[in-house]
Amino acid sequence: MDAVVNWLLMFLPRAIRQGVPLLFGSTGEILTEKSGHLNLGIPGIMYMGGVSGIIGAFFYERFAGDAYIGWLAVLITTLSALLGAAVMALIYSFLTVTLRANQNVTGLALTTFGMGVGNFFGGSLAQLFGEGGSLSVKRTSEVFCKTLPFADDLGAVGTLLFDYGFLVYLSVAIALVVAWFLKKTRAGLNLRSVGEDPATADAAGINVTRHKYLSTVIGGAIAGLGGLYYIMDYTHGTWSDGGFGDRGWLAIALVIFALWKPASAIWGSFLFGGLYVLPAYLNFGDNRSMQYLVSMLPYVVTLVVLIITSMRKKREHQPPASLGLPYFREER
């Protein structure tokens, strides 16, 4: 019994930590998709968010020296992550909204570019400044990793609920805010109508272009925080090339799993996080290969959900009706 509890106390926090980048990513992607844009550039945007954050921290650490202030470091790091991700999303929206480019192609190009920029600066920044070694911002990372002060005094509950850096709580908060925004506000209603039926939204006097831009850019910025969390908290401020891996794609898959509901993305991301790290916490004995079969799980689960939703055809569970289609008022 104790063994199970101990295992869970090891596994669950790890699943949650693993799920946080996914949650940021899918919350951002949900917001984007609600405007009718399937942004396959999210993986690139998340890379960009991560690398912009670490660059911000790197420069602040270099130039602040002894005058280093923790909260300022966090602020600068977070702002630069948001900025980097938002600029990427802006490129995407300029190409797909204003220039009406194909969303899939643009998204894939953005991912190529974002991963390139991420890995390049992550891998070369230290080199460019003649410091050598891999890029590392331990000092700022420690601030990001700071847990709630009373976490250690609360035993298991503390470990499960309070032993995380602030970005973990932020990810849940943002998901809840986006859920509330989409469901309960007038602006959310208008945004959803743009993704469902832009012609109707247009006729109702809603500025379709502005909604598409705003939701794509804000969505991108939120996704960028996922990259930031990964670098500053999950890997403790050290960049490793390609380390972020396929989490961006998983975040997009999670959107389907959550049926375009940010609130469902919260538990969905922790579940996916769990599935993602599960192989490392299972004892396969001599059969090491099994862990890779288990690592298929998140993808297989996503496929099953995708198939079931398309078969059930329940209208509330379908993607926004105009997802992926460009809107041109004068289309014949």
Partner 1 sequence: MSEYTPVPAIELRGITKRFGSVTANKNVDLTAYRGEILSILGENGSGKTTLMNMISGIYFPDEGEIFIDGEPAVISSPKDAFDYKIGMIHQHFKLVDVFSATENIVLGLNEGGKYDLKTANAQVQEICERYGFDIDPTKKIYTMSVSEKQTVEIIKVLYRGADILILDEPTAVLTPQETQKLFTILRRMRDDGKAIIIITHKLHEVLSLSDRVSVLRKGEYVGTVNTAETTESELTEMMVGQKIELNIDRSDPQDPVDRLVVKDITCVNRQGVRVLDDVTFTARSGEILGIAGIAGSGQRELLEAIAGLQHLTEGDIYYHDPKTGEVEDLRNKTPLQIRELGVRLSFVPEDRLGMGLVGNMDIIDNMMLRSYRKGHSAFLQRKAPRDLADKIIDDLQVVTPSAHTPVRRLSGGNVRKVLVGREIAAAPTVLMAAYPVRGLDINSSYTIYNLLNQQKQNGVAVIFVGEDLDVLLELCDRILVIGSGKITGLVDARTTTKEEIGLLMTKSDVSGGEPNE
Partner 2 sequence: MSEKVVKKHHREPLIHITKRESMAWWKAWSIRGVAILLALAVAGVIIMLVSDLNPVDVYVAMAGGNFNLEDPSQTRMMWVTFQKVAILLCISLAVTPAFKMKFWNCGAEGQTLMGCVAAATFMIYCGDSMQPALLFPLMLLVSMLAGALWGVIPAVFKAYYNTNETLFTLMMNYIAISLVAFLEIVWESPKNSAKVGVINLFTKGGWLPEINGNRYLPVIVTVLLVCILIFIYLKYSKQGYEISVVGESQNTARYVGINVKKVIIRTMAVSGAICGLAGMLLTSGINHTIYPDAVEGQGFTAILVSWLASFNPIAMIFAAFLIIFLQRGAGAIATNFGLDDSLADIVTGIILFFIIGCEFFIRYKINFRHSKKGGVD
Q: Say if residues 244 and 50 touch (Cβ distance below 8 Å).
A: yes
Among 108, 151, 170, 263, indicate the residue that binds partner 2 (CB under 8 A).
Answer: 108
Closest approach of Cβ 322 to partner 1, in Å?
A: 10
Closest approach of Cβ 225 to partner 2, in Å?
A: 22
Q: Say if residues 211 and 35 touch (Cβ distance below 8 Å).
A: yes
Cα separation of 284 and 86, whole Å? 43
Residue closer to partner 1, measured from CB, 10 or 203 = 203
Residue closer to partner 1, measured from CB, 288 or 313 = 313
Phi/psi of residue 207, nearest 5 degrees: -80, 100
Measured in whole angstroms, the distance separating CA 14 from the mean position of its chain's CA atoms is 17
The listed partner (partner 1, partner 2, none) that binds 192, CB under 5 to 8 Å by sort, is: partner 1
Among 246, 267, 314, 321, indicate the residue that binds partner 2 (CB under 8 A).
Answer: 246
**Does the protein bind partner 2 through residue 106 (CB under 8 A)?**
yes
**Does the protein bind partner 2 through residue 22 (CB under 8 A)?**
no
Which pairs with CB-CB distance under 8 Å and at least 24 residues apart come from 273-276? 273/14, 273/15, 273/16, 273/17, 273/18, 273/19, 273/20, 273/22, 274/11, 274/12, 274/15, 274/18, 274/19, 275/301, 276/15, 276/18, 276/19, 276/250
Cα separation of 303 and 189, whole Å? 29
Closest approach of Cβ 162 to partner 1, in Å?
A: 34
**Does the protein bind partner 2 through residue 150 (CB under 8 A)?**
no
Among 10, 69, 79, 105, indicate the residue that binds partner 2 (CB under 8 A).
Answer: 105
Residue closer to partner 1, measured from CB, 17 or 34 = 34
- Subset of 248-267 contacting partner 2 (CB under 8 A): 249, 252-253, 256
The listed partner (partner 1, partner 2, none) that binds 184, CB under 5 to 8 Å by sort, is: partner 1
How many residues of this chain bind partner 2 (CB under 8 A)?
A: 57
- Nearest CA-CA partner of 299 in 263, 252, 261: 252
Burial of 89-119, coded b for 16+ CB within 10 Å and e otherwise, reads bebbbebbbeeebebeebbebbbebbbebbb
Interface ranges with partner 2 (CB under 8 A)? 38, 40, 91, 95, 99-102, 104-106, 108-124, 127-128, 241, 246, 249, 252-253, 256, 288-290, 292-293, 295-296, 299-300, 302-303, 306-307, 310-311, 319, 324, 328, 330-332
